[in-house]
Chain A
Amino acid sequence: MKRNKILSISLFSICIIGFYFLLKLPVDSAKRIEPFRGPERIISLGPSITKGLYLLGVENKLIANTTYCISPPEAKKKEKIGTAVEVNIEKVFNLKPDLVLATSLTNLKAKEKLKNLGIRVITFPTPGDFGDMCKQFLELGRLVNKEKEAEKIVKNAEKKANSIKKKVENLHRPRVLVQVGTKPLFASTGCYFINDYIEFAGGMNIAKKAKEGIYSREQVLKANPDVIIIATMGIVGEEEKEVWGKYKTLNAVKNDRIYILDTDELTSPTPVSFVKTLEEITHILYSGK
């Protein structure tokens, strides 16, 4: 029992000494924030940000991006530092970026860690609507010293979007469901910019008022959309189309108006690709594909 006591006392003192050293570890060594001159080495953590940087013509300053950044094709060749969600901090730090552009998908702890290491991290949340998207694009342009280019691109996109809006103003408004996930069924609701595709193209989003989350198939049958747009890639989309095919009462099934769109184009847009996709959707809604 006595030996026991001696042992635990000595253990305790060892721990205290160890802890003391631990406290003295270099904590703030990384916080050497240098005066900011304008980014020369940018890392993008989101596909839409990568696309935006290419649009603004600063791709030579983009040193790395994520494995999700597949558009434009040249972006695939850039160095990869992880996915849009998980970021390899060590690699990012070693590339010595002066600006890291993150999204709301990026791991919170990773962002915090990079900030602690003295790297400038700017987060672009998923845009709520087209206006948001344009604002973010202007912000991106400001960050990389390409304000004028960004303004020009946004103005152009806004002009095109408005002209499409005008064109469809007095047409019949079809009811539309944009499905962004299968099994379980996810519909794009009013809280996301995808809603703007439908509204600008003159459609009515049947899931507009719903909260984000799993959508009920019964609700879809009841609302009876005229058009269903499936935003999933490849085989899954085809399968989902067959699934809808079973519900013969749906107008969209009766008239064979179920379409599959590329997810990447739809869900990670820039103002430019937004207009492009909008044109496509308008085409779908009014003339069939």
Chain B
Amino acid sequence: MREKTIRWAFWTAVLCSLLLGTVLFSLCIGSVGISLKKIIEVICEGNTSTEYSILFDIRLPRIILGFAIGGALSIAGVILQGMFRNPLVEPYTLGISGGAALGVCLNIVLRLNHTLGLFSLPLFGFLGANLVIMLVYSLSIRRGILKIQGLLLTGIMISFIASSLIMFIMAISRVEDLHGIVFWIMGSLEEPNWFLIKLSVLVSILGLIISYRFSLDLNAFSLGEEEASHLGINIERTKRSLFVLASLLTGCSVSVAGIIGFVGLVVPHFVRMFVGSDHRILLISSFICGAIFLIFCDTLARTIISPLELPVGVITGILGGSLFIYALSKKQAVLGGK
């Protein structure tokens, strides 16, 4: 027991220092080169120079949003993979991202963001996500029992329907709107509104705390639903709360940052290889690791072909996928809930 605690503390410390390192790295690197010496000077002097504004008004918001979104998507992935006992489930499998994308597309095409302001984009995204959550939930609940397999299939089907509807909207929309839709779907951590950034941070951290309360239940789930109920867990209530929690985390992330793929799928697997599959440590380290991963990918995305910027999803996919395959070939860890 004691040994376990030490090992967990060790991993948490390692990841936290890595996170700090990544944040500093990301703060120092950008298309406008600012040397480390200059950065220290600028921070000491306070907010008068252009450099200060670049660091704290342009780079820092992106880093903070990366922290929130990366963390939220990763723990949503851990929760769903643990709950479904299926290594291929990720936050976007349940159609939540499709719903959010549909909401945003409708907003762009109907030009509501011109009348209601830019804030209405994430709002519509969130409404769309919630609509899908309710739909999936009500379709797969039978006599108070949430059918896990039904949930998965309904979710996948709804995400197909949503993507067809998005294609329909794109086919009939004006050229200018088309750009808006495509770029929103690609996902980006660029967010002008500080309030939304703070909100994402709050949601993701609250999500971590609440999901941590369920970590022992998730451990029991990995034995199977029946065994979990024999261990004295109210499986129906737990399933419902976990589903809603993961969905809200995903919905919030997607409506603010668009569809940034791969984080919620790869990070939990990757972390599981190192820290094991006990959800008590898995949740925390996935959160931190997801944050590190997304911040790092975003830094690459905005510097690699500067002055142009790549969509962050390009980097998360390539980097995440190849890193994961490499790790898998090095260490034949067992995937999934085991």
Contacts and interface: CB of A to CB of B under 8 A. Distances in A.
A236 B71 CA distance: 45
A15 B288 CA distance: 13
B31 A90 contact: yes
Nearest to B204: A15
Given A26-B56, A82-B309, A11 B171 contact: no
B84 to A, nearest CB: 24
A85 B179 CA distance: 8
Interface residues of B, number: 49
Nearest to B306: A88
Contacts of A96: 50
Nearest to B182: A85
Contact of A22 (B201, B206, B209): B201
A81 interface: yes
- Per DSSP, chain B at the interface is helix
Interface in A111-160: 112-113, 115-117, 125-126
B153 interface: no
Contact of B205 (A15, A104, A105): A15
Interface stretch (B141-149, B186-194, B318-326): B186-194
B192 A90 contact: no
Given A81-B307, A112-B118, A89 B190 contact: yes
Interface string A44-77: 0000000000000000000000010000000000
Contacts of B213: 8
Given A12-B209, A113-B190, A93 B56 contact: no
Nearest to B5: A3
Nearest to B174: A212
B198 A23 contact: yes
Given A30-B53, A82-B307, A104 B176 contact: yes
A185 interface: no
B32 A90 contact: yes
A117 B53 CA distance: 8
Please indicate which of the listed interface residues B32, B57, B188, B280 has the most CB atoms of chain A within 10 Å of its own CB.
B57
A83 B308 CA distance: 7
A235 interface: no
Interface stretch (B17-25, B58-66, B86-94, B229-237): B58-66
A93 B58 contact: yes
A84 B164 CA distance: 28
Given A19-B201, A93-B53, A86 B60 contact: no
A211 B174 CA distance: 9
Contact of B192 (A18, A82, A116): A116
A33 interface: no
Contacts of A255: none
Given A4-B280, A25-B56, A212 B194 contact: no
A263 interface: no
A90 B30 contact: yes
A80 interface: yes
B190 A109 contact: yes
Nearest to A64: B307
Nearest to A96: B50
A271 to B, nearest CB: 21
Contact of A117 (B30, B57, B64): B57
B163 interface: no
A61 B57 CA distance: 26
B190 A108 contact: no
B308 A108 contact: no
Contact of A88 (B175, B215, B280, B308): B308
Contact of B50 (A94, A105, A116, A125): A94
Contact of B54 (A81, A82, A85, A90): A90
B212 interface: yes
Given A23-B198, A27-B194, A109-B118, A94 B205 contact: no
Nearest to A212: B174
A107 interface: yes
Given A4-B216, A8-B213, A212 B173 contact: yes
B40 to A, nearest CB: 17
Contacts of A212: 172-175
B198 A80 contact: no
A91 B118 contact: no
Given A22-B64, A117-B53, 4 more contacts: A11-B208, A30-B57, A89-B58, A93-B50
26 contacts: A4-B216, A7-B212, A18-B205, A19-B201, A22-B64, A25-B56, A26-B57, A29-B47, A29-B57, A82-B307, A88-B309, A90-B32, A90-B54, A104-B176, A105-B176, A107-B180, A107-B183, A108-B121, A108-B180, A109-B118, A109-B190, A126-B176, A191-B174, A212-B172, A212-B173, A212-B174
List of 9 A-B pairs having minimum Cβ-Cβ separation, nearest first: A112-B192, A113-B192, A94-B32, A29-B47, A88-B307, A104-B176, A15-B205, A30-B57, A212-B174
